[in-house]
Structure 1
Amino acid sequence: MNPISMLLLGFAMSTDAFAVAIGKGAAMVRPRFSQALRAGLIFGVIEAITPVLGWLLGKGASRYIDAWGHWIAFGLLLLLGLHMVWNGFKPETDEPVDEAKKHGFATLAITGLSTSIDALAVGVGLAFVDVPIAAVALVIGLCTFVMVTLGIMLGRVLGAMVGKRAEVIGGIILIGVGAAIVYEHLSA
């Protein structure tokens, strides 16, 4: 696999995380660049680990991943999306919102994992060809880091324009990404 192919694969694997990051950034209250970098790092590390795990699973488990991976990703994204939509329609209270918990490590990690199921399946496929899996995983992780960081900051701009219902839009984006994953798998 040549460097251009690795880079294209890295960006292809990061597109769904980018879309989710735009929704996340829109739902956050004026995210700072440091928060965008943190989200990018979490998504990037997860997205780099999953193809290695898929590569390790190899041929034996590929039929299970191919058969169920898209449904797992859809289920996680659907649940997270519905939760965001529900939060977007909840009446505001005078209680302070704990932004750290709402956009904390666990939530970002689950979201990152749900967008990286496809990278797991790609890793399984790469187990059957001669590729430097560590280099491929690094490129995928770096591309995802950059795309998610940019997505959060782009979401910040969109969130300021949309206002209070930005979280609803973010939830709808999550659900849409999950539906796209299932559609791509079923139509392939």
Structure 2
Amino acid sequence: MEAFYLLKSLFALFLMAIALGMDALSVGMGMGMIPLRFKQIFKIGLTIGVFHVIMPLAGMLIGDVLSHHFGKVALLAGGVLLLLLGAQMIFYSFQKNESPMVRPVGIGLILFALSVSLDSFSVGLSLGIYGAKIVVTVILFGFVSMIMTWMGLLIGRKFQKLFGSYSEALGGCVLFAFGIKLLLHM
């Protein structure tokens, strides 16, 4: 009976990891619209996976005390960051002979990973209240988001080749729309 409960808990956590990874997939599709090398795609997925470990871990450790305050703040910050990244991609896609302003390297990669993983902080707060297994949870969240980010970036890369010079504007629109979606769910 205990094995059944454990399997049921793991399945629930896996579904939650997929739900959190959907952000990474869709935002990765948008970011994949700019020209990226496979090495960059690997680093981006790995970074987002690490952030999907750190953010829910921080949320789980903080727990119930701050859950009411940071839940909305995380959504607001994530939405605003995605709006800014999307708007910059759209704006700079119309500039002639300019490389894209938003590049997923350095601070741009950190901001990108942070914007995608902020919702996992709120989920971590909730899971901390219920006493979820911390190590299993954060490893599962990180692994699933990393895989889904890679999938999104590779799909976006295919669309980038298909749409050519308009692909960055399309990717910016995806990020911008996702930012609006986050803000509307507050």
Shift of the 144–106 alpha-carbon distance from structure 1 to 2, 3 Å rule, reads same
Cα distance in 1 for partners of 2:48, 2:70 equals: 20
Specify the alignment match of 1:106 in structure 2.
107
Cα distance in 2 for partners of 1:25, 1:153 equals: 7
What fraction of aligned residue pairs are identical, expressed as a percent?
A: 27
Matched letter for residue 37 of structure 2: R
Whether 1:176 and 2:177 are equivalent positions in the alignment is yes
Counterpart pick for 2:65 among 60, 65, 68: 60
Cα distance in 2 for partners of 1:89, 1:158 equals: 18
Provide Cα deviations, 1:85-130, integer angstroms capped at 9, x if missing partner: 111011225xxx489x833132122111111111000011011112
Q: TM-score, normalised by structure 1?
A: 0.88
Matched letter for residue 12 of structure 1: A
Specify the alignment match of 2:79 in structure 1.
74
| C-alpha RMSD of matched pairs (Å) | 1.8
Specify the alignment match of 1:22 in structure 2.
29
Extract structure 1 runs of 4+ deviating beyond 3 A.
Answer: none
Unaligned runs of 5+ in 2: 1-7
Contact kept, 8 Å, 1:37 with 1:149, in 2: the verdict is yes
Cα distance in 1 for partners of 2:60, 2:152 equals: 28
Specify the alignment match of 1:144 in structure 2.
145
Q: TM-score, normalised by structure 2?
A: 0.89
Cα distance in 1 for partners of 2:63, 2:138 equals: 15
Contact kept, 8 Å, 2:103 with 2:109, in 1: the verdict is no
Q: Secondary structure at the match of 1:26?
A: coil
Contact kept, 8 Å, 1:36 with 1:150, in 2: the verdict is no
Whether 1:50 and 2:55 are equivalent positions in the alignment is yes
Matched letter for residue 180 of structure 1: K
Cα distance in 1 for partners of 2:109, 2:160 equals: 18
Specify the alignment match of 2:17 in structure 1.
10
Contact kept, 8 Å, 2:44 with 2:104, in 1: the verdict is no
CA drift at 1:167: 1.1
Shift of the 103–67 alpha-carbon distance from structure 1 to 2, 3 Å rule, reads closer
